[in-house]
Structures are given as structure tokens and as C-alpha cells.
Amino acid sequence: MMTQTFAFGGQQIAYRHTPGSGPAVVFLPGYMSDMAGSKATAIFDWCAQNGRECLLLDYSGCGESSGDFADGTLSQWRDEVLALVEAKVMADKLLLVGSSMGGWLMLLVGMALGDRLQALIGIAAAPDFSNWGYDEEQKAQLRAGTTIYEDSDYGYDPMPTHAKFWHDAENNKLLGSTIALTCPVRLLHGEEDADVPPDTSFKLAEALASEDVEVMLIDGGDHRLSREHDIEALLDTIAELS
């Protein structure tokens, strides 16, 4: 399926869409990630093979989309996802799959979707990482408007955090109160995740208003959860919630 672009907010948002039955599966990648990753590709291929509608996208400043990553925020990317969903997704219901930061974004998108939201699947979901992911010295630098850089194992080293992103993220924290989402939620998390503590998924499960929430710890799984059997577990979970 060819990559297409969608004009929004002065940017060209790259996306891939395959039509089919619902609920439509929408994948939200992680921080500085894009729709070319193994999980996104596996989901898209599974949906195409099974006649299911699917939407992938690159946030502005990421992947094939236009824009500068330094200008990106959770609020901006949430609005891009919602606009693209409104314009391109035909199904009445949506199943959101969010990886790492995308797991935070799926909560923000889900709350805006209202009755269209069918279910959520988090993969090492990382809500509120602007709070627990940085030490006090780093937060002071970000608060003062300074970009900070950290070592990374994900192909972009060093990895930047821009003050604009951090300030917006601080205004979108969710774990301190009840998250008003009542749909089924599955939270997949690798037991050996060195980037997002597995306890984050348990905190999220407690914060959600839904009575149908399961945390699924993956034996030996790291943050990526991209081994063959990790992806099989993900696809099985999508099938279960469909």
C-alpha cells in the first residue's frame, strides 16, 4: 500500500490506509518513531490479509511527514491523529494501539473519540514520562527552555527532548487522577523493559475507569517487544478485541 499525505496544520502528514471491516485498527508509534517499524508493518499486513481497516501515520516532524521534530508536542500529534481519523477512517469504531509514547497518545486520542472508541492496546505504554522519565536537574533545564540530550539505543543518538514538547507533556499528565475511559484495555509490557518500568502499566491500569483492563507481562521482553512471538501476542490481542 502506497504512502499518501494529508494536509493538516500547515504540514503534510504521511499515512498508509487499507480499507476493510471494522473496528479500524489505528497504530500510534513511539517517540521519534514512525510507521516503518516492525510492529506497525505487522499490524498493517495482518489487517490487509484479514480484510480489516487499518491506519498508520507519521507524526509531523517524524518519518516521511513534513515539519521539524523540535516543534512537535503531544497536543499537536493528538490533533493530527484525530483529523486523519475523521478524514480517512470509514469504520464506526476504532481500536487504538499505542507503543511507548504512543500509549500515552492513545489515551488522549481515545478520550477525544467518545463513542467511536472500541478498545485500547498499549505496548510498553508510557503515560506521564515527562514526570518520571527525567531527573530534577533535567527537569530544571527543560523548565528553563533548554533542550536536553540523552544516550539512546534506538538509532538516534543522542536523543533530544525539546522544552516545547516537555512543557506540553506536563500539561497532559494523566496518572494523577481517574482516566475517564471505560472500554476494554490490554497493556502488554516486557518484563525486561529497561526504558519504561513495567510498574507504569500497573499504575495505568489502576487509573483507568474501565472495569475490563488486563496487564500482560511478556516473559523476557524488552522495551521494543518486536520478537516474533511478541508480535504474535500483539496480533492475537487485536483479534481478541475485535
Is 223 one of the catalytic residues?
Answer: yes
Q: Is the pLDDT of residue 1 over 70?
A: no
Which residue among the candidates 17, 162, 189, 223 is catalytic per the annotation?
223
| pLDDT tens sequence across 129-168 | 999 999 999 999 999 999 999 887 665 668 899 999 999 9
Is 201 one of the catalytic residues?
Answer: no
Is 167 one of the catalytic residues?
Answer: no
Q: Indicate the pTM of the whole model.
A: 0.96
Q: Please, are residues 40 and 14 in contact by the beta-carbon 8 Å criterion?
A: no
Residue 189 CA, chain-centre distance (Å), reads 14
| pLDDT tens sequence across 181-206 | 999 999 999 999 999 999 999 999 99
Which residue among the candidates 128, 193, 195, 230 is catalytic per the annotation?
193
What are the strands of the beta sheet with 213-218, ordered from one edge? Answer: 4-8, 11-18, 52-57, 21-28, 94-99, 117-123, 185-190, 213-218
Q: What domains lie within the chain, and their CATH numbers?
A: 4-240 (3.40.50.1820)
Q: Please, are residues 47 and 73 in contact by the beta-carbon 8 Å criterion?
A: no
Which residue among the candidates 100, 130, 168, 189 is catalytic per the annotation?
100
